Structures are given as C-alpha cells and as structure tokens.
C-alpha cells in the first residue's frame, strides 16, 4: 500500500472484484452493470438536546480556534527536489529527518 493511498489496497481490490462480478460485457466489450441499487437517501438524525448543545459548543470552540490561527508560510529556496533526488531520499524521509533535527 502506498503511504499516500486514501484506502488500503485490500479494499480497492475487493471493490474491483465485486464490480467485475456484478457486470457483464456488451457486444463491443464494454462493461454493462447487471445489478440495480437503490438511490441514496438523506439520513435523518434524532439528536437530543444534550447532543445538540454539545455540537453547538464544539462549533463555537472550533470557530474561536480558527479565528485565532496565525499562519506564516516561509518559502525555502536554498535547495529543492533535485537535492533530495541526488541523495536518493524519499520526500517523506527527508521531511521526517528535517522535523527530527528541528525538534532536537
């Protein structure tokens, strides 16, 4: 599995197998779905007052945190991806080492 994959490979493979089993080929070789699924419907939630209040409080706290965020982006131009490639490092490993050295 790729470290950047949004889902494990087993899930992707299983999805492909299920899709392949649920389709047939048309005369020109294109896949044709053989199963029909119900259209998705909106979920209705029953939330009591306690949960509703907790959601409102969490939303207020999150908004306060977002409004209190200071962000500065520093563009580093001393070297870039060619340096990483030259030293045969993965970008992830390079960043991990940089973070560890920064912390140390």
How many CA atoms, within 13 angstroms, populate the side-chain half-sphere of residue 86? 5
Check 1, 2, 3, 4 and give the catalytic one: 4
Residues contacting 24, CB < 8 A, separation 6+:
31, 32, 34
Q: 25: which strand partners?
A: 31
Say if CB 32 and CB 39 are below 8 A apart: no
74 is an active site residue: no
Q: How many residues does the chain have?
A: 104
Q: Give catalytic residue positions.
A: 4
């Amino acid at each position: 599995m790729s470290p950047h994959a949004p889902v494990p490979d087993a899930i992707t493979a299983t999805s492909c197998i299920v899709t392949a089993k649920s389709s047939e080929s048309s005369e020109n070789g294109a896949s044709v779905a053989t199963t029909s699924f119900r259209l998705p419907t909106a979920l209705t939630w029953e939330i009591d007052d306690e949960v509703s209040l907790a959601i409102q409080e969490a939303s207020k706290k999150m908004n306060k945190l977002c409004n209190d965020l200071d962000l500065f982006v520093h563009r580093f131009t001393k070297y870039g991806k060619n340096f990483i490639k030259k030293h045969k490092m993965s970008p992830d490993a390079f960043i991990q080492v940089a973070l560890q050295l920064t912390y140390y």
